[in-house]
Amino acid sequence: MRIADLNFLAVEDHQQQCGILLDILASLGAKRVAVATDGLAALNIVTAPDARVDIIISDLNMPGMDGMEFMRHLGQAGLPVSIILASVLERSLLSSVETMTRAYGVNILGVIEKPVTKAKLGTLIKLHATQAAQTSAGNPAAGSHTAAPSFTAEELVAGLNNDEFEPWFQPKVDLTTGRVKGAEALARWRHPNLGIIAPEAFVRQMESCGLVDKLTWVMLRKAAALCSQWRASSALDVSVAVNLSILSLADTQFAARVTELVCGEKLDPQHMVLELTESAAATDIGQALENLARLRMKGFGLSIDDYGTGYSSMQQLTRISFTELKIDHSFVANAARQPSAKVILKSSLDMAWKLKITSVAEGVETPQDWDLLSRLGCQLAQGYLIAKPMEAGALLQWTGDAHAG
């Protein structure tokens, strides 16, 4: 995607700053740039019936409707635009506004502390192009407004009965050696009419319909079988990770059933990691804690997923014998530009090291992310910089190519 093909909107009330911004955009190759002097004028432009705006570059401190109110209205309108915030405000406040913008559902590319430079602006515009390419390839970027299809309970049941759900795998690699150490199994629906459907379109509906437990068993069985095949043929020396639902853990026989299934596929439990989100780990249900303790006794790995997004993370690490800590992608993505996110990332990695559990960083998307994680001592990385989720056969080919290179 060329910059000349994009439609820009500059929202800036300071005439000199606006002139500098327009000059930089022109030097980058932008051909179509609209200008607004406050949030209300900008909102009128982007909500016009024939509006075509791809990227908005907005100041925050403006008369009338300021940048924060403008972000709120954009989120409420659900407009498919990307945002770059530019301001002289202090870094900590800009970080708060960035978080607020994401909470409104607006796709924010990043924040620039004025003065705006060609390098800073060019980098964020390239990120927009990357996200657009991922969306067109079937991998919607965070903040994308692409509508997901909706399914009835009957359609989901039919898909389960017809064995249309399967695991795709995203590799986890050693940050020191670059070697593939594991892969997370992520659910995909091979729909007979719609093709491959990502979990965002069906998991929540399955949870509300009471079907997510059935999906869990499909993922456990297929992931265990594939991992067993890889290891038996010496094609791939990895462990697989499967996400668990708190609903599954309420069954007192769950641990025994999982053990029987995995061993029945001739896979040693030590080669399977069971991932639990923080919210699920926070449960006080005795059956869940009993199941998790029993799974660890059988040799399964236990991972606390999305670490840092809950309210009692450290407490969970004392209640459950976790073997792996997966740091949420938001801290990885923001660490390079938000001091508070970097502090949380570093303290999480230090804690994992002291507790002698494996640290995994999710959402590694740039070389800068990789370099920072390496310097901070993270052990494993997972994200689009390494590879997107792929079918089992593609994983074998990718692993062979990666190691050959």
List, in order, residues 6 or more apart from 67 with CB less than 8 Å away.
11, 39, 58, 59, 60, 61, 85, 87, 97
For residue 5, what is the DSSP state? Answer: G
Burial of 134 (0-12, 13-18, 19+ CB in 10 A): middle
- CB-hemisphere CA count at 13 Å for 235? 14
d(CA 343, CA 331): 9
In DSSP terms, 191 is beta-bridged to: 195
CB 305 within 8 A of CB 275: yes
Task: Please pick, among 12, 98, 324, 362, the residue that the annotation labels catalytic.
Answer: 362
d(CA 258, CA 221): 9
Phi, psi of 302 (to 5 degrees): -125, 130
Residue 207 is a catalytic residue: no
Coil, helix or strand at residue 107: strand
Residues designated as active site:
362
